[in-house]
Amino acid sequence: MALYSKQPLSIYNSLSGKKEIFRPISEGNVGMYVCGPTVYSNVHLGNCRTFISFDMIFRYLRHLGYKVRYVRNITDAGHLEDDADQGEDKIAKKARLEQIEPMEVVQKYTVDFHNTMAAFNNLPPSIEPTATGHILEQIEIVKQIIENGFAYQVNGSVYFDVKAFNDSSDYGKLSGRKLEDMIHNTRETSGQGDKRNPQDFALWKKAEATHIMRWPSPWGEGFPGWHLECTAMSTKYLGEQFDIHGGGMDLKFPHHECEIAQAEAFGTKKPVNYWLHANMLTLNGKKMAKSTGNNILPHEMFSGSNPNIDKAFSPSVVRFFMLQAHYRSVLDLSSVALSASEKGFRKLMQAISDTHKLPTTTETTGIDIANWEQRCYDAMNDDFNTPILIATLFEGVKFVQAVSDGTQSITLKDRERLHTVFIHFVFDVLGLSEEIQNQDDQHLSGAMKLLIQLREEARKRKDFSTSDLIRDQLKEAGIELKDGKDGTTYNLS
């Protein structure tokens, strides 16, 4: 029997505003779509939190035995500078400023994104489609929405008719907004360009002469609106109705609201069953913003090179820190909080490696392991409550310490079970990895590279006393240099 049938999972659904028992459309299978990055700059830490949250959700669903198809897109066209369909395309603007091709911008920041995701130990999604790779699918959806009477064409652009849609459905059902209030609160009476109403949004935009990224369409040369790509790619890979749609809280409106409207206007009754939103990350109590300097990039976090933090923190520690908060709560990042997490992380890792060495008894175990394991599941089954899970795991850490001290006892069988539960939840579900050691290795290899290079330069200028000194001193420190035909390597003795 699959684990999921024994562990009913409840998920907070942003659409209903309450926790619901998770029931996938097809038994044993889950379709999950998460809005990915717009690749015009380095991924910021707030976005990383969103992707770590959904990685944890992906991992837990897999752990429960579901076959999960996880689709996370790359936005490489169509994302304009503001939500009102104004301004330049973010990628085209960067390309203009850096005087490179838009696809060079896309390539550069997609690589950065993938490297950062790997550093955080996020599993790759099952499919990672791009907006530019799905222009035809997007055009087909626009045609259908026009035919269904929910979009109109003006001067080479196509806009979604929010009012017409709202007459037969409910625009605002996800974000809890009412169209009447939106209309009432809009100050502008004219000046929205070609739109009939300011709430309308672009499905297709006409490309002006200077716009570099453009494709032919039935309405002339242009490019798709940002919201459209997610509707096209989610339905293509997960079907017109699928289980989970996720993203950052900031995408709820207008992006996700527009996605629902598009899919319904296309003809799908209820495109998504469960909407999940991950909350914000703040820095030192304030919203992160490039303009104020209250901002930090992942690589600055790992190297400690940002003035907002006192020292470097490994990706695993940052991940652990983030998972100590519930994904729906706002989380504030600071050096003090990260240092506390680092201590906790090391304690947890130490306890796991100590588990194997615990002395065993043939009598009884001083903790009910089955009950402890069930409480770990209970935490995760309650809307992926990782802070409660981590607190429960620390009960296990305390127990390991007590057995080490001789104040508690454990049987061999229970010791193995204890270790398995740690492995399942710490490594498989939370996705933590022992990276601190690796980071030390990285520092060592960097320093060694430099010493080998200095010795090489000394030898070239026939300064053998210096080159021998480097070799001998390293040997004394337990590091042996070996000169081979491909250069010098080193061994720890």
Question: Would you tell me which residues interact with Zn ion (CB under 5 A)?
Answer: 35, 230
C-beta closer to Zn ion: residue 229 or 414: 229
Tokens of 411: 């049987």
* Residue 259: closest CA among 34, 18, 51, 22: 34
Q: Which is nearer to Zn ion, 50 or 392 (CB)?
A: 50
Q: Which has the closest alpha carbon to 257: 277, 239, 279, 237? A: 277
Q: Are 287 and 250 in contact (CB under 8 A)?
A: no
Nearer to Zn ion, 44 or 375 (CB): 44
Smallest gap from residue 255 Cβ to Zn ion (A): 5
- Give the shortest CB-210-to-Zn ion separation in angstroms: 26
Distance CA 49, CA 33 (A): 16
The amino acid at 39: V
Structure-block tokens of residue 257: 């609201």
Smallest distance from Zn ion to CB 298, Å: 22
In whole angstroms, the minimum distance from the beta carbon of 123 to Zn ion comes to: 20
Phi, psi of 130 (to 5 degrees): -110, 155
CB 10 within 8 A of CB 383: yes
User: What separation in angstroms does the CA of 272 have from each of 69, 135, 168, 327?
Assistant: 14, 22, 18, 20
Q: Which is nearer to Zn ion, 228 or 333 (CB)?
A: 228
Give the residue among 125, 78, 54 at the shortest CA–CA distance from 229: 78
Residue 45 Cβ vs Zn ion, minimum distance, rounded to whole Å: 20
For β-strands 272-278 and 242-248, DSSP reports them as parallel
Indicate the residue among 71 and 393 with the shorter CB distance to Zn ion: 71
Q: Give the whole-angstrom CA distance, residue 372 versus residue 394.
A: 11
Q: State the Cα torsion 148-154-159-164 to the nearest 10°.
A: -50
Closest CB to Zn ion among 252 and 375?
252
Beta strands in 385-440 (DSSP E): none
In the bound state with Zn ion, the residue whose beta carbon lies nearer, of 207 and 232, is: 232
CA–CA dist 327, 49 (Å, integer): 8
Among residues 71 and 418, whose Cβ is nearest to Zn ion?
71
Our CA angle for 198, 203, 208, nearest 5°, is 90
Pick between residue 225 and residue 298 the one whose CB is nearest to Zn ion: 225
For Zn ion, which is the closer residue by CB, 35 or 71? Answer: 35
Quote the least distance from Cβ 263 to Zn ion, whole Å: 12
Q: Given the complex with Zn ion, which of 131 and 403 has the nearer CB atom?
A: 131
The minimum distance between CB 144 and Zn ion, in angstroms, equals 19
- CA atoms 77, 80, 86, 92: torsion sign: negative
Amino acid letter for position 207:
A
- Cβ neighbours of 62 (radius 10 Å): 16
Q: How far is the CB of 125 from Zn ion (least distance, A)?
A: 13
Amino acid at 406: G
User: What is the nearest approach in angstroms of Zn ion to the Cβ of residue 33?
Assistant: 8
Residue 230 Cβ, how far from Zn ion at the closest point, in Å?
3
Burial class (CB in 10 A: 0-12, 13-18, 19+), 363: exposed
Q: Nearest CA to 108 among 36, 39, 35?
A: 39
Minimum CB distance to Zn ion, residue 75 (Å): 7
| CA 110, 208, 160, 193 torsion-angle sign | positive
| Alpha carbons 15 and 176: distance in angstroms, whole number | 9
